[in-house]
Structures are given as structure tokens and as C-alpha cells.
């Protein structure tokens, strides 16, 4: 919040007109959109777009009571396990991933929504024949021995193998892998990403920019999360 002396400022006015932002020189000292708090970015934007080499480390590790919701748009038909959010210890152990794939493995046809949790053999499900193009809302859940994926409200559920989740933090636009460090990049736009662990919202990220550099801003921690890969994100338009 902003203060005058020791008094907290909720709103500022010039005569009878509410002030949106106030500056001291070139420094922003008051922003009504942040409840008077100065937010650490210049503008909210519609999306961040990865070309297939950018990714973000959320710092969040999956649990056996995990949910996520991502609004996203793939740019082209995908070639494999192109991941929006993922963490995986190795090919035979445990992890979680939300992806679109075009290779039709594990019972899913081309362009299938896909979630994986637990061992490869027992924790994979897919929704077949969804379009990878256009904007979709993807929801996943890992809870009470079952996993589910929802794409625009179409839900598929299955059981998963017993075991521990990945010990690695989840990446956005890619998968955090024990074997290669990072892989399964996606060429996609992400409009927002929410993660729940144990029923608690632990990550609530929206795309923003500082200057012309794109970030995800987590409203839970109040922190900016930037690109850990190469190149730079393509930025959507500023939101009004």
C-alpha cells in the first residue's frame, strides 16, 4: 500500500476525480489497480508465446493431491509430447505432465490431450481427436488414486500407479526432466496458469511485461517468473 505519514492510502483523488496512477518524477509511486500497491510490471498482456526454446520454472513440485488449469493455444500441430506444464524424474519413475501429442501412444490418437502421473505403464490417459489449434482450457487432477484431464469440459478419468510424485519443480512450456534437464518443449501461447497442491492455490500466474520483456506474474507469491531458456517470448497485446 501507499502511505501519507503513517496513514494507509486506499484511493487518491484530484478534486473529485479518482487517480489511477501517480508518479514521483519517473517513478510510479501509486497504482489503483494494485489497491494502491505498485505492481512489479508495466502491463498485463494477453499471453506469452514460446517458439519452442523458452520455458519458465514455476518452482512448484507436484504432489499426490494436485490440480492445474491452463488456458493455452498451440501454434501448430504438435510432433510429440509437447508439454504445457511438466515434471518427470525419469522414463520409468514418477512425474506429472500436461501435454498435447500427435504420435498416438497410450491409447490416444493424433492430437490428443494427455496427462501422465506415476509409472509410464499405469498412469497415462488421453482424450483423442481434439484440435490442437485454437484456444482451449485444459484442467488436470491427480487425487485419491485417479487422474483426470478436461479439455473445454470434456473429461476423461483413469487410475494411476502407486508411488511418489516427481521431486523436480514443474516447468511451463516444457517438461523438467531428470535425464536431459529440460525437454518436450511446446510452441504455444499461455494465457494463464493455476496450480493447486493439497487443495490450496499455490500458483496463479498471468502474463505481463516489463518494458518489452515477458514474464509470468504469480499473484500468490507476488513474484515475476522469467524465461529460463534461450531466445525470448513473443508478447501478446496489452490488456485494457
Which of 200, 235, 214, 239 is CA-nearest to residue 56? 214
Are both 57 and 173 inside the same structural domain?
yes
Q: Mind listing the pLDDT tens digit for each residue in 46-67? A: 999 999 999 999 999 888 888 9
Interatomic CA distance for residues 134 and 216, integer angstroms = 21
CATH number at residue 149: 2.60.120.200
Are both 23 and 137 inside the same structural domain?
no
Interatomic CA distance for residues 204 and 128, integer angstroms = 28
Q: Is residue 240 part of a domain?
A: no
Q: Is residue 109 part of a domain?
A: yes
- Residue 232 C-alpha cell reads as 525470448
Q: Is residue 9 part of a domain?
A: yes
How many CA atoms does the CB half-sphere of 238 hold within 13 Å? Answer: 9
- Whole-number pLDDT of residue 64: 80
Q: State how beta strands 82-88 and 175-177 pair.
A: parallel
Q: Mind listing the pLDDT tens digit for each residue in 137-171? A: 988 888 877 777 788 887 777 776 655 677 889 99
Per-residue pLDDT, averaged over 88-97, amounts to 63
* Model pTM above 0.75: yes
Are both 147 and 79 inside the same structural domain?
yes
- Whole-number pLDDT of residue 229: 96
- Looking at the structure of the chain, the number of domains it has is 2
Q: Is residue 53 part of a domain?
A: yes
Domain limits at 19? 2-39
Q: Is residue 125 part of a domain?
A: yes
Amino acid at each position: 500500500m501507499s502511505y501519507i505519514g503513517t496513514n494507509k492510502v486506499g484511493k487518491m483523488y484530484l478534486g473529485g476525480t479518482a487517480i489511477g496512477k501517480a508518479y514521483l518524477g519517473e517513478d510510479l509511486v501509486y497504482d489503483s489497480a494494485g489497491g494502491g500497491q505498485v505492481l512489479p510490471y508495466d502491463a498485463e498482456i494477453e499471453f506469452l508465446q514460446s517458439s519452442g526454446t523458452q520455458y519458465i520454472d514455476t518452482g512448484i513440485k507436484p504432489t499426490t493431491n494436485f490440480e492445474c488449469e491452463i488456458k493455452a493455444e498451440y501454434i501448430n500441430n504438435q510432433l510429440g509430447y509437447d508439454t504445457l506444464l511438466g515434471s518427470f524424474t525419469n522414463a520409468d519413475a514418477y512425474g506429472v505432465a500436461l501435454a498435447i501429442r500427435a504420435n498416438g501412444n497410450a491409447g490416444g490418437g493424433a492430437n490428443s490431450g494427455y496427462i501422465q502421473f506415476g509409472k509410464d505403464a499405469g498412469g497415462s490417459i488421453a482424450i483423442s481427436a481434439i484440435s490442437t489449434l485454437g484456444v482451449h482450457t485444459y484442467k488436470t487432477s491427480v487425487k485419491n488414486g485417479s487422474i483426470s484431464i478436461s479439455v473445454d469440459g470434456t473429461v476423461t478419468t483413469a487410475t494411476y500407479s502407486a508411488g511418489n510424485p516427481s521431486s523436480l519443480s514443474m516447468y511451463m512450456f516444457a517438461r523438467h526432466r531428470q535425464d536431459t534437464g529440460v525437454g518436450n518443449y511446446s510452441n504455444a501461447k499461455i494465457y494463464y496458469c493455476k496450480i493447486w497442491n493439497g487443495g490450496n492455490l499455490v500458483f496463479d500466474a498471468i502474463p505481463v511485461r516489463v518494458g518489452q520483456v515477458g514474464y509470468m506474474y504469480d499473484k500468490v507469491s507476488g513474484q515475476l517468473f522469467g524465461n529460463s531458456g534461450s531466445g525470448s517470448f513473443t508478447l501478446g497485446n496489452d490488456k485494457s
